């Protein structure tokens, strides 16, 4: 009822323990707290909070317009409703190294289990669009060092994302990944890898967990979880998938209202009221109310 009974510290410890097994962890992207509860109900390994999804939810493009407070608020809302670890997209850290430090501590206070900082120029662009730019290696390293130094819970996962593959090639991505690990990154997120061989190449170059981004309509082929596990990927995210599916359904529903005048033909596609109430655990709230308001008002 209400929020998770597992502390943020315990969630971070659990996340680290699962990562240490070397198995592939699957983290669908939650676009709100309710979808995070569904991800937990379906027994996934964790919840991902995408910067692109948060921007879209605010009616904005993913070009660095969201603020730290907006990301921290939504991340905290999601992290509080699930026992699963929450991994958050922290973009470029919202500024220079001191801003990165504040970002880490603010997101740590929001209850997340991990976050990733990328090496794009600020303001950033979606990782699967053309026209990206990255900072020099020294600036990228300073961001990660600032993040690692700022955390107060040693189990908070600091992941480094690099977008350099699309700009300077795979060799540059290998060099950048190794430098970021040396700077203290706990995990590496190589963005926009083209094929499985590229993931294998990054895997061979680093000795920390690696993340694969399976976002639809992007530059990466949509590999299966089995294929990714076979090349040594440790985390796979589906960042925008649930939002895209939900918005696709919303488009069809609005068109159906215009065409048919009601939504009777789409009832079978909807989450039933009973299933929604079950996901929200209405019964526990009713039981709680009954245990407190167990008296009769005198007449």
Helix (H, G, I), strand (E, B) or coil at 298: coil
- Measured N-to-C along each axis, helices 170-182 and 137-150 cross at an angle, to the nearest 10 degrees, of 30
Q: What is the dihedral of CA 93, 95, 98, 100, to 10 degrees?
A: 0
End-to-end CA gap in the chain: 33
Asked if residue 234 lies in contact with residue 241, where contact means CB atoms within 8 angstroms, the answer is no
CA nearest 107: which of 64, 68, 136? Answer: 68
Q: Is 21 exposed, middle or buried, given 0-12, 13-18 or 19+ CB atoms closer than 10 A?
A: exposed
Cα torsion at 92, 94, 97, 100 (round to 10°)? -90
Which is nearest to 30 in space by CA: 109, 72, 86?
Answer: 86
Residues annotated as catalytic are: 48, 62, 89, 91, 116, 118, 126, 161, 191, 213
Number of residues that this document lists for the chain = 299
DSSP for 181-240? HHTT-SEEEETT--SHHHHHHHHHH-SS-BEEE--TTSSS----HHHHHHTT--EEEE-S
Whether residue 102 contacts residue 31, with contact meaning beta carbons closer than 8 Å, is answered with no
């Amino acid at each position: 009822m209400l929020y998770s009974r597992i502390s943020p510290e315990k969630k971070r410890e659990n996340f680290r323990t699962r990562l240490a097994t070397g198995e592939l962890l699957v983290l669908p992207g939650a676009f709100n707290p309710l979808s995070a509860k569904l991800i937990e109900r379906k027994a996934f390994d964790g919840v991902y909070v995408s910067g692109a999804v948060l921007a879209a939810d605010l009616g904005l493009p993913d070009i660095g317009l969201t603020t730290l407070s907006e990301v921290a608020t939504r991340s905290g809302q999601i992290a509080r409703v699930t026992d699963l670890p929450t991994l958050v997209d922290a973009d470029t850290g919202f500024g220079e190294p001191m801003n990165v430090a504040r970002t880490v501590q603010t997101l740590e206070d929001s209850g997340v289990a991990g976050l990733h900082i990328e090496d794009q120029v600020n303001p950033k662009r979606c990782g699967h669009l053309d026209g990206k730019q990255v900072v020099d290696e020294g600036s990228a390293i300073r961001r990660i060092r600032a993040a690692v130094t700022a955390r107060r819970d040693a189990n908070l996962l600091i992941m480094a994302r690099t977008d350099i593959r699309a700009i300077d090639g795979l060799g540059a991505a290998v060099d950048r990944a190794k430098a970021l690990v040396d700077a203290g990154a706990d995990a590496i997120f190589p963005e926009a890898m083209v094929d499985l061989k590229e993931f294998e190449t990054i895997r061979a170059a680093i000795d920390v967990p690696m993340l694969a981004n399976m976002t639809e309509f992007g530059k990466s082929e949509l590999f299966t979880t089995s294929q990714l596990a076979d090349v040594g990927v440790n985390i796979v995210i589906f960042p925008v998938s649930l939002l895209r599916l939900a918005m696709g359904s919303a488009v069809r529903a609005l068109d159906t209202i215009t065409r048919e005048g009601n939504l009777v033909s789409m009832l079978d596609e909807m989450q039933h009221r009973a299933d929604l109430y079950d996901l929200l655990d209405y019964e526990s709230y009713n039981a709680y109310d009954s245990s407190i308001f167990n008296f009769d008002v005198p007449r």
